[in-house]
A and B are shown apart, each in its own frame.
Chain A
Amino acid sequence: MKVLVCIKRVPDTGGGFKLTSDNMRVDTTNVGFAISPHEECAVEEAIRIIEKHGGSSTVLTLGPQAAQEQLREAIAKGITSAILLEAEDYEFWDPAATAHAIAETVKPLGFDILLFGNESADTCNYQVGLRVAHLLDLPCVTGIKALEIQDGKALAKRETKDGWEVYEVALPAVFTVKEGINTPRHPSLRGIMSAKKVPIEQKKVTKPAPQLVRKALKKPQEGRHLEILGQGVDAVPKIIEKLREVGAI
C-alpha cells in the first residue's frame, strides 16, 4: 500500500489575528506554525493505514522552505518520506494552481490512497483534494470521519446531521479527512531525532496564471461589550441571574 498525505503549513493563531500593514496576510511575526487540524488527522490516518496494511507513506506540502518543519513533524510521527513543492508565495496560490502542481508531481508515483484535509484552517477553500482527484481521474469522497480498507476497496463514512453516509469506492482513491476520524499521536523523542536526518525531496514550483486573486483581508465586526460579574464564588448570584434571564432555571 502506498499512501500520500497532503498538508498545509498554517499560522498557529491562538487567541487573535494581526494583519500585515497592507492587509494582505496574517502577520506571522512571533507566531508559530502548525499543520492545519484536519490534515493533522490525515497524517495520523496515513500512519495507521501503513501500520495495519504495510507499505509506505509520503507527506507532501506546497509551501516555503520553512514548511520542512511540518514535513519533519509528520515524519517524526511515523510517515516514511516527504516532498516539498517549494513556493515562498504559497499563500497566494489559488486551489486550482495548488492542485495542478500536486497532481503533476504525484501522478507518476502511483499512490493507492491520497489523503487531504477537508479544508485548510486558513483559506477554507474546500477544493484542493477534489481538484487533484479530477486531474488524476480518481474517485473522491470528502469530509470523511472513518476509513476502512479491504480487498482493494475502501469504505468511507461521512457524518451528517441524521447519521452516517457510507461510501464504497475502489482504490486508488482520494479522501478528504475531517478532524474526529482519529486522535493524532504526539511524536516520540526518538522520532523527532531521526526525522531531522531524513532527506526531503524538493522541487521548485512556479505559480501559474490565477483564477482567484486576493485583494485584502479584513476582520469582521465584533459587537460584544464585556461586563465583569465578579471575582470567584462571589459572582455566583450574578451567574444565577443570567441563567434566569434565559429561562434556564
Chain B
Amino acid sequence: MILAILEPAKGALTEASWETLTAARDLAHKSNDSVTALMIGKGVNALAPTVKGIHTVLVAEDPRLDSYVPEAFAKIVSEVITQRSPKIALAPGTETGNDLMARVAARLNLGLATNCVEFSVEGGSLKRVTRSNWGGSLLEELEILSSPILLTLAPHAIAAQSADGTTPTVETFSVSVSEKDFRVRIKELIPTQKKGISLTDAKVVIGGGRGMGSAEAFKMLEELASLLHNAAVGATRVATNNNWRPHSDQIGQTGVQIAPDLYIACGISGAIQHMVGCKNSKKILAINKDPEAPIFQRADYGVIGDLHQIVPALIAELKKLKGA
C-alpha cells in the first residue's frame, strides 16, 4: 500500500495535496499497488468524499486538531505507518508537510527524502528518487535504504490530475493523542493586512540587485511599477542584507518564489540564490551593464547598459504614452 498524507486547509484540500495524490496513484500504478489517503484534523470527515480513484481514505477527525499541531499530527501519521505498513508514505513538500514528515522520520528512525521531483520505479519497486538541491538549481539522485520509504513531493513538480472511477472506502482512524502531544501548538493567529499587489500575484515583477546601489534608487523601480498594470517591486539578497529593502521583498532561495509573466531584473548579476526564486517567470528581461553577468545566460531578453539611465528613460517614455 502507498500512503498519501493530505493537507486540508480552509475546508478543502490544498493544490499540493492533489499533486501528492496524483504522484501516489502513479507510483501505485507502476508498482501494482493501492493507495490509501490520510487526512487529519477537524472537519476532514466532510472532505473524504472529494477524493476519487484510490482504495481507501483514512480520516483522523478530532475537534482539538483545528489547526496544525505538529507533535499530535506526527504521532497519528507514525501510528498509521506502524499499523498499516505502507511501502511508501508520501506527503506534500510544503512547510507543513516537510515539518510533519521530518518529525515522523525522527520518531520511526527512518530516512526521509524531501522535495522529490521524480521517481524511478523498476521491476515494480521504487529504486531511486530525484530530489531538489540548492532550491532546485541542482538535482540529486538518491537511493533510500530504510523501509518504509518516506518522501515529500516538491510543490509544482508534477501537475495534479483528477481521477474518476472508484469511490474509496472511508475508514475512521481513532485518534489517541494526549496533552503531551500539544506542547507545541499555535497560541494565536495574526492575519496580515494585504497592501498593494503581492510579489506572488503580480504579472510583472521588477527586481533590483547590487547594481541599484542604494535604497533611494528603488524609488524609480516603484515609479516604474506604478506606471504598469499589476506590477510589484522585489529585490535580491544583497539588497535586503544592505537594508535597501525589507526581507519580505526578497526574491530567492531564502525569500519569495515568484512566477510572473515578465520579470525585469535590474542590476542583478544572476546568483544561483536569486535565480531559484525567479526561474518560474514566463519571461526574464535583464538590464545589466556587465555583458558577462551570469544572468544573461538565464534570461530571455537582455539589455546591456546602465539601469540608472535606462530606467528613467523608460519611465519618461511610459509617461509620454500615458499622456498621449
Interface residues of A (CB under 8 A from B): 13-17, 26, 37-38, 94-96, 99, 119, 121-127, 130-131, 133-135, 139-143, 155, 157-158, 160, 162-170, 178-180, 183-184, 210-220, 222, 224-233, 235-240, 242-243, 246-249
Q: A17-B272, A246-B203, A249-B228 are in contact. Are A122 and B134 (CB under 8 A)?
A: yes
Q: How many residue pairs bridge A and B at CB < 8 Å? A: 265
| B57 CB-CB contact with A under 8 Å | no
A94 proximity list for chain B (CB < 8 A): 111
Q: A126-B98, A141-B184, A214-B141 are in contact. Are A233 and B298 (CB under 8 A)?
A: no
Report yes or no: A139 in contact with B144, Cβ–Cβ below 8 A.
Answer: no
Alpha-carbon separation in the docked complex, A36 to B138 (Å): 16
Interface residues of B (CB under 8 A from A): 67, 70-71, 95, 98-99, 102-103, 105-107, 109-115, 128, 132-146, 183-192, 203-204, 228-231, 237, 240-241, 243, 247-248, 250, 253-255, 261-262, 264, 269-273, 282-285, 293-306, 309-310, 313-314, 317-318, 321
If A14-B269, A224-B299, A248-B229 are given as contacts, then 7 extra A-B residue pairs at C-beta distance below 8 Å, sorted by A number, are A13-B134, A14-B272, A126-B99, A134-B106, A163-B189, A169-B183, A248-B231
From B113, B299, B321, contact of A212 by CB (8 A): B113
Report yes or no: B142 in contact with A215, Cβ–Cβ below 8 A.
Answer: yes
**Nearest CB on A from B153, distance (A):** 13
From A96, A166, A216, A232, contact of B186 by CB (8 A): A166
Alpha-carbon separation in the docked complex, A17 to B191 (Å): 39
From A95, A125, A236, contact of B317 by CB (8 A): A236
Report yes or no: A217 in contact with B133, Cβ–Cβ below 8 A.
Answer: yes
- Smallest CB-CB separation from B97: which chain A residue? A126
Report yes or no: B255 in contact with A211, Cβ–Cβ below 8 A.
Answer: no
Alpha-carbon separation in the docked complex, A228 to B288 (Å): 11
Report yes or no: B190 in contact with A164, Cβ–Cβ below 8 A.
Answer: yes
Alpha-carbon separation in the docked complex, A239 to B317 (Å): 11
A13 proximity list for chain B (CB < 8 A): 134, 271-273
Report yes or no: B144 in contact with A233, Cβ–Cβ below 8 A.
Answer: no
A242 proximity list for chain B (CB < 8 A): 262, 283, 285, 301
Alpha-carbon separation in the docked complex, A215 to B304 (Å): 41
Q: A95-B112, A217-B139, A235-B310 are in contact. Are A37 and B102 (CB under 8 A)?
A: no
Alpha-carbon separation in the docked complex, A222 to B264 (Å): 18
Report yes or no: B144 in contact with A131, Cβ–Cβ below 8 A.
Answer: no
B67 proximity list for chain A (CB < 8 A): 165
A230 proximity list for chain B (CB < 8 A): 303-304
**Nearest CB on A from B8, distance (A):** 15
A122 proximity list for chain B (CB < 8 A): 133-134
Alpha-carbon separation in the docked complex, A249 to B229 (Å): 6
Report yes or no: B143 in contact with A231, Cβ–Cβ below 8 A.
Answer: no
Q: A164-B189, A167-B185, A167-B186 are in contact. Are A225 and B300 (CB under 8 A)?
A: yes
Q: A131-B106, A180-B248 are in contact. Are A226 and B138 (CB under 8 A)?
A: no
**Nearest CB on A from B143, distance (A):** 5
Which residue of B102, B134, B191, B247 has the most chain A CB atoms within 10 A of its CB atom?
Answer: B102
